[in-house]
Structures are given as structure tokens and as C-alpha cells.
Structure 1
């Protein structure tokens, strides 16, 4: 194995959507960093079987603002 080609593998904390925290080892971030999940197996429709709209970063609001005027007739 070649030396110095592998990324740093360290311990981080993962916070689920319901607040549950656990420690794991990862190459992401720096040692001691915290990753907060927006979607996890407890909230994702693929695992829960429930459909719901997940608005990450205002995507739905941005879409509605952009296309709000479609279908509205202007007065002549």
C-alpha cells in the first residue's frame, strides 16, 4: 500500500432529524465535527411509507414564486 494516499479517518458525531446522536468514523470533515441530517431513515418516505413534502432550503417557495403568474390573465 502506498503511504500518504488515504484520507484522514476520524471520529465524528451524526445528529438524526429527531435529535438522536451517535458517533461514527468517517473521512468527512475534521475530527470532532458534527453532521446534522436533513433526511434520515426515520423521516424519508422510502422507509416510512408516508408521502410528505420535504422543503429543503425553500425550494417549494422558490418554485411557487417563479411560476405564480402562470395561468393568471392580464386585464386588457
Structure 2
């Protein structure tokens, strides 16, 4: 069998974007995470929306979700106006 093929297993300092940090064990010395159990809505019980990367806004911008709602309301208003005439 080969010797020394496994990586070193050491104490790891994990720090979150919210400022919380804790120690665990891993093969790397330091980890930085965006969200942890101290700030995640599931664990805290708060109903706040967490999107640090802006993925929702990017999706809405890509598919024009903000404009679709306005145009749909305008079309129904136009149809209602033509139906009353």
C-alpha cells in the first residue's frame, strides 16, 4: 500500500459573510461562506429573502418580468375599452 496518500486533516476556521465564524475539521485551513446557520432564514425563523448574487434580478431582467406585468394590464384595459364601444 502507498504511504502518505491522504491529505492532512486539520482544524478549519469557517467565516460567514454575516460575521459569524466557527471551527470544524477539514483538509483546508480556512473557508469563507456566503451564508451560514446563524443568518439563513430557515434556521433563524425570519422570512427575509436572501439573494447575495442578484440571480433573481438577473432572471427578471433577462425575461422582462417587470415589463410583462405592465403590458398584460395595458392589454386587458385596451380590450375592455374596445368591448364597451
TM-score range, shorter chain: 0.5 to 0.7
Q: Which runs of 4+ in 1 moved over 4 A?
A: none
1:24-60 per-position Cα deviation (integer Å, ceiling 9, x unaligned): 32124xx4xx322222111112211111111131102
Flag the structure with higher helix content: 2
Work out the CA distance in 2 between the residues paired with 1:64 and 1:46. 24
The CA deviation at 1:67 is 2.2
**TM-score normalised over the length of structure 1:** 0.61
> Aligned residue for 1:13?
13
Indicate yes or no: 2:11 matched with 1:45: no
> Aligned residue for 1:26?
26
Alpha carbons of 1:21 and 1:48: their partners in 2 closer, same or farther (altered >3 Å)?
Answer: closer
**TM-score normalised over the length of structure 2:** 0.57
Work out the CA distance in 2 between the residues paired with 1:16 and 1:24. 13
The CA deviation at 1:5 is 4.4
Structure 1 stretches lacking a partner, 5+ long: none
Aligned length: 70
Structure 2 stretches lacking a partner, 5+ long: 73-85
- RMSD over aligned CA atoms reads 2.8
> Aligned residue for 2:56?
60
